[in-house]
Amino acid sequence: MGKKQQLVQLKQLPVAPVKTGSPTSTVGSPRQPSIVGYSSTVDLLNSVKHAVYVIEKDGEVSRFGFTVIGSEEVGGVDTKKVLFYSETASGTSNLTIWISSETGDVVKAVGYSNNQPLPESVAIAYARAVIQSLVNGLIQYTTLLKTYGIQWAAGEITGENIIVVEKGPQTYTIGGKSYNAYMIRFKPAPSTGETNIEEIKFVFAELKPSQWYFVEAYTKYTDGTYYKLYMEEVEVD
Give, for 124, the enclosing helix (H) or strand (E). helix 120-147
Q: Do 145 and 157 form a contact (C-beta atoms < 8 A)?
A: no
Supply the pLDDT for residue 14: 34
pLDDT in tens, the chain (237 residues): 443 333 333 333 333 333 333 333 343 444 689 998 888 889 889 999 999 999 898 888 988 899 999 999 999 999 999 999 988 888 888 999 999 999 999 999 999 999 999 999 999 998 888 788 777 778 888 888 888 999 988 889 999 999 999 999 999 999 999 999 999 999 999 988 889 999 999 999 999 999 999 899 999 999 999 999 899 999 997
C-alpha to C-alpha distance for 122 and 135, rounded to whole angstroms: 20
The pLDDT assigned to 75 comes to 95
Residue 148: what pLDDT?
92
The predicted pLDDT at position 170 comes to: 96
- Among residues 128, 140, 171, 141, the alpha carbon closest in space to that of 24 is found at 171
Confidence (pLDDT) at 26: 40
* Closest C-alpha among 109, 52, 101 to residue 229: 52
Domains and CATH numbers, the chain: 2-236 (2.50.20)
As a dihedral over the C-alpha atoms of residue 30, residue 237, residue 134, residue 66, rounded to 10 degrees, the angle is -150
Residue 176, pLDDT score: 94
Total residues belonging to the chain = 237
Helix (H) or strand (E) holding 46: helix 41-47
d(CA 130, CA 124): 10
pLDDT of residue 215: 94
